[in-house]
Structure 1
Amino acid sequence: MTGFQELGGKAVVLDRANVDTDQIIPKQFLKRIEKTGFGKFLFYDWRYKAEGVPNEEFVLNKPENQGATILIANENFGCGSSREHAPWALLDYGFKAVIAPSFADIFKQNCLKNGILPIVLQEEEVKLLIAKGKEKAVILHIDLVEQKVTDHEGFKATFPISDYWKTMLVNGWDEIEITLQLDAKILAYEQANNL
């Protein structure tokens, strides 16, 4: 995984509550076993009309939102089934962080395990960002070390994250890489116990 301490980028607003994992990545696209290639299917039923024609009204298809790396959503984002394909699709599309007032627990863990920062802000803070994002493109700065989200117009909010996941994301580690850091101790244990 690629780690980050700070992220600055364009944010796009998806002003919908209870967006479930089947809406994030519909079930017909789950046959792939790789973690890549899912971005083109992200929010497929909203992004495309019949026969795969882009829906020009959907936020991700608007020219001003191209290149967004931060998604601002409403409450209970990522609810529904526990499919890990949902964060894979978000990451493959280019999102590195998702901001919402709440996330489904399994989805949140899947994001963290795959290098996406799920940021929980107060509902009023998210509403303010959504309102800003509906008026014009919003550029946000996320400081993971300081646990802050800011913009150039005075918006400032802090977010919680466990020390464990903060360390993992800052360093770009996944759980296998954490285990490999203990390789010398594992080897010593195996040798001491004739394993």
Structure 2
Amino acid sequence: MTSPSSRSGHAPRPVVGVLAGFFVLLPLASGAAAQTPEERLAELGIELPTPDAPTANFVKAVTTGNLVFLAGHGPCGGLDESNTGKVGLDHTVEEGYEIARWVGVCLLASLAREIGDLSRVKRIVRVFGMVNTPPDFTQHSQVINGCSDLMEQVFGPAISKHARAAVGMASLPRDQSVEIEMLVELHDP
């Protein structure tokens, strides 16, 4: 295609600028949208585990309308010294971050079991993170970032940006270091 100035006797020149920019941006936008959450998980080297069975009289996820309420999740796959105890005493903030990231994987495993295809997720609405800490600990947000950062890596910022609370607890069930609840909105069926 040539520019309109070629009609005035000047040599034809290619059209560049906005039109060309449009064609450059279009494949990037469609390519990013084509990658599924499952593909992003695989790219991160994450295989979703089988969700642990509830330890009391509750279920891991409840769907009502377009909302999925995920119960408080601790580290799945068993508790040991690597994921129990207090962050800030038994674990560094960085170790707490990794524990929270793993809890995020466990939340995704329960979510996938509940809804099937993670592409159904329209929005991560809320994350409520609880960190088992000594009373003087103040870096709860840095720990729960492990889960929030994972959600952004899996779903992208438009879907993953959520309301959040990150709080310290004197103890958590079974002495787990981190427990996280999550609320998710689904696309209309």
Same fold (TM over 0.5): no
Q: Normalising TM by the smaller chain, what interval?
A: under 0.3
* TM-score w.r.t. length of structure 2: 0.27
